[in-house]
Amino acid sequence: MRILKFGGTSVGSPENIQKVIAVVTQRAQKENVAVVVSAIGGITNKLLLAGQLAAKKDDTYRAVFEEIKDTHLTYTKVLTKSEETLTQVQRLMSDLEALLQGIFLINELSPKTIDKLTSFGERTSSVMITSAFAARDILAQHKDSRQLIITDATHTKATVYTKQTHQAIQAYFKDSKAAITILPGFIARSETGETTTLGRGGSDFTAAILAAALHADALEIWTDVSGMYSANPTLVKQAQPIAQISYHEAMELSHFGAKVLYPPTIAPVMQKNIPLYIKNTFDPEAEGTCISNQVNGRNNPIKGISHINDIALLTLEGTGMIGISGTSKRLFETLSVQAINVILITQASSEHSICLGIAKEDAQQAKEAIESTFAYEISKHQIDPVIIEKELAIIALVGERMKSHQGISGKMFSTLGKNNVNIRAIAQGASEKNISAVIASKDVAKALNSLHERFFEDQSQQINLFIMGVGNVGGRLLAQIKQQQAYLLENLKLNLRVIGMSNSRTMLFEEEGIDLATWSSALDKGEKADMVRFRESVQNLNIRNSVFVDITANEDVAMTYPHYLRNSIAVVACNKIACASAMQNYSLLKRLSKKYNAPFLFETNVGAGLPIIDTLKNLMASGDRITKIQAVLSGSLNFVFNNFASGDSFHDVVQQAKTEGYTEPDPRIDLSGVDVARKILILAREAGLELELKDVVNTPFLTKKNLESTDVPHFFETLKEDASHFEALVSEASAQGRRLKYVAQLEHNQASVGLQSVTAESPFYHLEGKDNIVLFYTERYPDQPLIIKGAGAGGDVTASGLFSDIIRLRQAP
């Protein structure tokens, strides 16, 4: 025999019930089946609402009742033409109306009355569905579960008397000749004949009781998903169905919030070794999940990640607990008397404190009861008053084979730590079937996705980008990401998504990722740009592996980096202002990056896409020491002086460099030497020196009039006015067979920048176009320097440098 149970969504419409009939009919062709049905989806909640309103003397309960009545009568008329069934449903609705009127009159809703009230959902649905079979000439027999399942008198969650129940079930089905038997789930009766219920989700339990009593070949739970999943698919889009799972693993997952299965369901079938299948009514051919005594000995030792919301953490602590026997006994007896369920327990080895995870709604009651029990110790300051922490959740890794795999807890906690998920408490049983942690509710989605990515997604990693400054360089970066997305996913297991972006006018956020084929038009329609709201949106989205990418030259944006780093959001910047700001701020950013495990990468600060900073870091890390750096670090200035010859207009050459994107929007930053000074300062700091920008000796080649210009247009006018000054510079160098290069130097802990006239023997002489060159003299390279040379300016190479930093964020498996 086979037991089938159909949940509320499976019977949630006449069309769905047709699907149920099809599944049952197909099963019944091979063997007898018992079919347990839930109430129509949403009806139990409406029954409770009607009862609560009636108990409050709120007349609107009548409107809720009419909804319930109309739903059942409509379903009955659609499913069957039987006047007898319609009369039976009407009688049930009349009884329900009378009960609600009684609740209204006596102004009371006791647990016993709640059981009577909520029983109407399953009682009515089972009658309708049995008649629906008959309307299709399929013989099906109805049996009231209250005549078979006997419990104690604990209302709303009764305890089943197994021996008496099994005897009643076996006796009934021994004499029954029906191929299909329809039974209401959830409901039972006490020994005195009162209606009881088995708890919310109890229809699963009803089916499991029947399966165990009848030694069924299998139990099938039919719902609206294709089995149990590796995580909640509504929160984790990459969640995978689990084909095979053990009883113990399923029990752990269901206990920790996997809603697809009511936790008590597993015990009866596990005791009789009956396989339990989770199937999808709306995709009956899908494989689903098989729950049995088999433990999959291959592949991932983690079977699933689950969570429970709305948890409160209670902490009892004090020196009066140390070495005092019976403290735990008194604590748990107190909670037991209050019927408060303890979900998680952790205790310090010093016995100084005990932490308990319980449902949030029980927190205040638990606090008052515990403080009453320990009133004497609290009055003597031997134990502190109970501390309550709310807005918490429990996440749990579940897998029966975790105990044979080292390092799982380390991977779990390091993954959470990297994503700034703070852990308030940890619990792991000796059986090691689950590792549980208490975290803030706001971090649940991020934690689940981070852990799922770490343990289930073939070592792939998702990186979520928030880009500030989508202009020339930003647009090219987006184009490069779009071009390489498929390659990165296939070859590096790296899934790059752009979640947010902003230019100076508008900003745009898409939690599932911005379409990089249409980002420009979408950004044009975005909300008004606001730097503060942009940062707040990044933090509020709270997405794993978040990265803030700064492609501006804005000082205010650079000063926001600490906010991102403190929230474990990585920062990738081509904006040089932060690293060239006060040494105190530079050191703070470095400390925050380490403290919050949030990378701070700024390769493009020096040399655009050239690996200058990375090379310097590697030299330092390997134990080498920098003795001297000589460099041409401004692609824009190199472009200008490579294209400026005697007789040319210096103004026109600078205008060309600006138009082609080789200078900052304000060319004065480049031509004044400030940009190069910042770059050599950054290299000096990365080499271990504590210098400020004012310590860099900057010898300007611009005139006083140029330097004192009020804005960019005025600056260009002064270049025309002082054309003779620039002609003299280039003519003098040309007459000596030399070329003008803007050189940065670091030696003897001193940094300087300025225009130099170099000979043909200089490595700088033949530097063409917008190229940069850096010469590292070190203890290992004392005579022949380590040279890095290449394009040091331009949108594509700068974007490429940013892209490289982003890829560098990929964590090793």
Q: What is the pLDDT of residues 171-202, one digit of tens each?
A: 999 999 899 999 999 999 999 999 999 998 89
pLDDT at 460: 76
Whether 808 and 482 have beta carbons less than 8 Å apart is answered as no
Q: How confident is the model at residue 719 (pLDDT cuts 50, 70, 90)?
A: very high
User: Which one of 406, 434, 455 terminates a domain?
Assistant: 455
Domain harbouring 54, CATH code: 3.40.1160.10
Same domain, 447 and 467: no
CA distances from 336 to 54, 341, 411, 479, 562 (A): 31, 7, 36, 62, 47
Specify which residues 220 forms β-bridges with.
4, 277
Is 679 marked active-site? yes
> Domain limits at 731?
612-792
Tokens of 553: 């030259």
Is the pLDDT confidence value at 107 over 50? yes
Same domain, 639 and 725: yes
Is residue 23 in some structural domain?
yes
**For the segment 643-692, what is each residue's pLDDT rounded down to a tens digit?**
998 888 999 999 999 988 888 888 998 899 999 999 999 999 999 999 99
pTM over 0.95: no
Same domain, 371 and 485: no
* Spatial separation of the C-alpha atoms in residues 266 and 254, rounded to whole Å: 9
pLDDT at 429: 62
Is residue 563 in some structural domain?
yes
Same domain, 510 and 580: yes
pLDDT at 320: 85
Whether 722 and 703 have beta carbons less than 8 Å apart is answered as yes
Task: Name the residue among 359, 246, 229 with its Cα closest to residue 305.
Answer: 229
User: b or e along 501-516 (b: 16 or more beta carbons within 10 Å of the residue's beta carbon)?
Assistant: bbbeebbbbeeeebeb
**For the segment 576-599, what is each residue's pLDDT rounded down to a tens digit?**
999 999 999 999 999 999 999 899
* Spatial separation of the C-alpha atoms in residues 397 and 562, rounded to whole Å: 32
Same domain, 510 and 532: yes
pLDDT at 387: 94
Is the pLDDT confidence value at 300 over 80? no
Is the pLDDT confidence value at 321 over 90? no
Is the pLDDT confidence value at 813 over 50? no
* Spatial separation of the C-alpha atoms in residues 777 and 420, rounded to whole Å: 40
Percent with pLDDT over 90 in the chain: 80
Is residue 801 in some structural domain?
no
Taking the CB of residue 237, how many other CB atoms lie within 10 A of it?
A: 10
Is residue 743 in some structural domain?
yes
Tokens of 510: 């898409």
pLDDT at 402: 79
Taking the CB of residue 324, how many other CB atoms lie within 10 A of it?
A: 15
Q: How confident is the model at residue 431 (pLDDT cuts 50, 70, 90)?
A: low
| Section 55-66 average pLDDT | 96
β-pairing, 218-223 vs 187-190, is unpaired
Same domain, 534 and 589: yes
Going by C-beta distance under 8 Å and a sequence separation of 6 or more, which residues neighbour residue 137?
Answer: none
Percent with pLDDT over 70 in the chain: 97
* Spatial separation of the C-alpha atoms in residues 598 and 56, rounded to whole Å: 54
pLDDT at 349: 63
Q: How confident is the model at residue 401 (pLDDT cuts 50, 70, 90)?
A: confident
Helix H or strand E segment including 209: helix 202-213
The distance in angstroms from the start CA to the end CA of the chain is 48
Same domain, 34 and 88: yes
* Spatial separation of the C-alpha atoms in residues 642 and 770, rounded to whole Å: 8
> 363-373 and 327-337 helices cross at what angle (nearest 10)?
130
Residue with the bigger pLDDT between 3 and 408: it is 3
* Spatial separation of the C-alpha atoms in residues 438 and 456, rounded to whole Å: 21
Reduce the DSSP state of residue 68 to 3 states and report it.
helix
Instruction: State phi, psi for 475 to the nearest 5 degrees.
Output: -65, -40
* Spatial separation of the C-alpha atoms in residues 386 and 388, rounded to whole Å: 6
Same domain, 572 and 524: yes
Same domain, 562 and 473: yes
Tokens of 612: 């200058």
* Spatial separation of the C-alpha atoms in residues 264 and 162, rounded to whole Å: 13
Half-sphere exposure of 344 (CA within 13 A, CB side): 32
* Spatial separation of the C-alpha atoms in residues 220 and 712, rounded to whole Å: 75
Which value, to the nearest 10 degrees, does the dihedral of the CA atoms of residues 268, 274, 279, 281 take?
A: -80
Whether 681 and 580 have beta carbons less than 8 Å apart is answered as yes
Same domain, 339 and 471: no
Q: Which residue has tokens 């997952």?
A: 253
Same domain, 413 and 501: no
Which residue in 446, 679, 741, 770 is the catalytic one?
Answer: 679
Whether 28 and 140 have beta carbons less than 8 Å apart is answered as no
Beta strands in 68-156 (DSSP E): 141-142, 150-151
* Spatial separation of the C-alpha atoms in residues 151 and 191, rounded to whole Å: 7
Whether 663 and 792 have beta carbons less than 8 Å apart is answered as no
* Spatial separation of the C-alpha atoms in residues 589 and 606, rounded to whole Å: 18
Is residue 66 in some structural domain?
yes
Q: Which long-range contacts (CB under 8 A, 24 or more apart) does 62-65 make?
A: 62/100, 65/96, 65/97, 65/100
Whether 552 and 468 have beta carbons less than 8 Å apart is answered as yes
Whether 383 and 330 have beta carbons less than 8 Å apart is answered as no
Is residue 238 in some structural domain?
no
Q: Which residue has tokens 């659609």?
A: 78
CA angle 699, 703, 706 (to 5 degrees): 115
Q: Which of 29-43, 61-75, 181-195, 334-348 has the lowest mean pLDDT?
A: 334-348
Specify which residues 219 forms β-bridges with.
3, 276
Helix H or strand E segment including 277: strand 276-280
Domain harbouring 405, CATH code: 3.30.2130.10
Q: How confident is the model at residue 404 (pLDDT cuts 50, 70, 90)?
A: low
Is residue 602 in some structural domain?
yes
* Spatial separation of the C-alpha atoms in residues 628 and 244, rounded to whole Å: 63
Q: Which of 115-129, 147-161, 223-237 has the lowest mean pLDDT?
A: 223-237
| Section 340-358 average pLDDT | 84
Helix H or strand E segment including 108: none
**For the segment 136-166, what is each residue's pLDDT rounded down to a tens digit?**
999 999 999 999 999 999 999 999 999 999 9
Whether 146 and 103 have beta carbons less than 8 Å apart is answered as no
Tokens of 87: 């009369």
Is residue 294 in some structural domain?
no
Q: Which residue has tokens 């802990």?
A: 749
CA angle 664, 669, 674 (to 5 degrees): 135
User: Which one of 422, 455, 488 terminates a domain?
Assistant: 455
Q: Is 163 exposed, middle or buried (CB count within 10 Å of its CB: 0-12, 13-18, 19+)?
A: exposed
Task: Name the residue among 783, 578, 611, 563 with its Cα closest to residue 685.
Answer: 578
Into how many domains does the chain fold?
4
Whether 55 and 108 have beta carbons less than 8 Å apart is answered as yes
pLDDT at 438: 94
* Spatial separation of the C-alpha atoms in residues 652 and 365, rounded to whole Å: 79
Same domain, 401 and 518: no
Half-sphere exposure of 652 (CA within 13 A, CB side): 8
Domain harbouring 603, CATH code: 3.40.50.720
β-pairing, 180-184 vs 33-37, is parallel
Domain harbouring 660, CATH code: 3.30.360.10
**For the segment 351-385, what is each residue's pLDDT rounded down to a tens digit?**
688 999 999 999 999 999 999 999 999 999 999 99
Q: How confident is the model at residue 810 (pLDDT cuts 50, 70, 90)?
A: confident
* Spatial separation of the C-alpha atoms in residues 136 and 510, rounded to whole Å: 49
User: Which one of 608, 625, 655 terminates a domain?
Assistant: 608
